[in-house]
Amino acid sequence: MIIPVGLGKDSYDIVIERGALGKAAEIFDLDRKVMIVTDSQVPEKYYLNLAAGCKVSVAGIFQAGEASKTPQNFLNICKKMMREGFSRKDCVVAVGGGVAGDMAGFAAACYMRGIDFYNVPTTLLSQVDSSVGGKTAVDLDGVKNIIGAFHQPRGVIIDPDVLETLSPRQFACGTAEIIKIAACMDVELFGRIEREGIAGNPRIEEIIAAAVTLKARVVEEDEKEKGLRRVLNFGHTLGHGIEAVTGLYHGECVSLGMLPMCRPAVRERIKKILEREGLPVRFSEAAPEPEKVIEAAMHDKKAEGGSIVTVRLDDIGSFKFEAASEEQLMKDYLEVFG
Ligand code: GLY
């Protein structure tokens, strides 16, 4: 299955196919120097598979985890390319989750003012979200994605077979992003998820493709997040606040963060499928202090002039943007978690 992303001269294809990683050299132009950026948790066989198809491959392996998304690691990738004599005709490939993709993409955006970038996302979360749309970045002093650029990939390979090596917890995090986009934009996909589930679904590639298609259409309409693309922040405003003050994973925080943004009847439907996918819908251990969550949410970079744009759902398949004050956000949060 091929999903085209139409962005004029920056258009590209997303190939979704079991076993596609083994065909990377047919799908990407790897007949040149290739900087492969991956992390310590990605199975080595994925890297080796890709390296085998490159004319010259150079490895950039970093410690897995968001803590590695630093300016220093970004510079290490650039330095390695410089030492190996990479030119503007060479390229970078990310093989890994969102951290690998964001950092490799940012290195590709900056090295010699921009070289080709390809992405092979290996987590469900990066397959359905961060690999699509060209956002690249690193964190600085604990502020996420504060230094970055829009740099669209030249191609993306989504190989559902690589999901077999994901832990159930990591897999569940990806389902949160699928449920997010379906709840906002696609009644049919949401209904399918209600009926069939995502984990263990033998036709999961169809669900991934549907979610990726939705995201591609959003990016085509609003590449630089001036309007519509903000819909992808559904669940992320409070989610980022929760993430900043708990040890929960990103997808788990999005799961919790979506609930206060819905009308009660919608919330119940979303809750049911989140729970079935193994995502939290309440705090099972010590709940964070609400004040700390809200403070962190308001400190998010999207906070502007005392209010923050939130995405709200009155019905499945449609959404609205609403500016919320700190007080409103607290009220929403306490309604569900108080
Ligand atoms: N992850 C949200 C976006 O790509 O805009």
Q: Does 154 share its domain with 180? A: no
CA angle 97, 101, 106 (to 5 degrees): 155
Q: Which atom of ligand 1 is nearest to the CA of 135?
A: 4
Q: Which atom of ligand 1 is nearest to the CA of 215?
A: 4
Q: How far is the CA of 129 from the centre of ligand 1 (A)?
A: 6
What does the alpha-carbon distance between residue 237 and residue 271 come to, in Å, rounded to a whole number? 18
Q: Does 194 share its domain with 150? A: no
> Which of 129, 123, 76, 83 shows the shortest CA–CA distance to 104?
76
Query: In whole angstroms, how far apart are CA 164 and each of 42, 83, 263, 268, 311?
Result: 12, 36, 35, 30, 33
Per-residue pLDDT for 295 more than 60?
A: yes
> What residues make up the domain containing 218?
167-337
* DSSP-derived secondary structure letter, 189: H
Q: Does 139 share its domain with 181? A: no
Q: Does 266 share its domain with 130? A: no
Per-residue pLDDT for 303 more than 80?
A: no
Among residues 114, 147, 164, the one where a domain terminates is 164
The pLDDT tens digits of the residues spanning 197-238 come to 999 999 999 999 999 999 999 999 999 999 999 999 999 999
Q: Which atom of ligand 1 is nearest to the CA of 129?
A: 1
What does the alpha-carbon distance between residue 178 and residue 235 come to, in Å, rounded to a whole number? 12
How many domains is the chain partitioned into structurally?
2
Per-residue pLDDT for 132 more than 80?
A: yes
CATH of the domain at 185: 1.20.1090.10
What does the alpha-carbon distance between residue 48 and residue 36 come to, in Å, rounded to a whole number? 10
Amino acid at 166: L
Q: Where are the beta strands (DSSP E) in the chain?
A: 2-5, 12-16, 33-39, 56-62, 91-96, 116-121, 135-140, 143-150, 155-158, 307-315, 318-325
Strands 155-158 and 12-16: parallel
Q: Does 136 share its domain with 207? A: no
**Cβ < 6 Å from ligand 1: which residues?**
129-130, 133, 135, 225, 229, 232
pLDDT band at 307 (very low <50, low <70, confident <90, very high): confident
**Residue 279 contacts residue 252 (beta carbons within 8 Å):** yes
Amino acid at 333: Y
Atom 2, ligand 1: residue with shortest CA distance: 232
What's the whole-model pTM score?
Answer: 0.95
Mean of all residue pLDDT scores within the chain = 96
**Residue 46 contacts residue 20 (beta carbons within 8 Å):** no
Q: Does 125 share its domain with 173? A: no
Per-residue pLDDT for 242 more than 60?
A: yes
Q: How far is the CA of 223 from the centre of ligand 1 (A)?
A: 10
Q: Does 177 share its domain with 130? A: no
Q: Does 115 share its domain with 245? A: no
What does the alpha-carbon distance between residue 253 and residue 255 come to, in Å, rounded to a whole number? 5
Q: Does 148 share its domain with 176? A: no
Q: Which atom of ligand 1 is nearest to the CA of 133?
A: 4
Q: Does 186 share its domain with 158? A: no
**Residue 260 contacts residue 239 (beta carbons within 8 Å):** no
Q: Does 149 share its domain with 262? A: no
The pLDDT tens digits of the residues spanning 89-108 come to 999 999 999 999 999 999 99
Among residues 117, 145, 164, the one where a domain terminates is 164
Paired strand residues for 155? 13, 118
Average pLDDT over residues 187-202: 97
CATH of the domain at 61: 3.40.50.1970
Supply the pLDDT for residue 306.
75
Paired strand residues for 324? 308
Among residues 164, 190, 212, the one where a domain terminates is 164
CA angle 70, 76, 80 (to 5 degrees): 155
Supply the pLDDT for residue 300.
57
Q: Does 268 share its domain with 304? A: yes
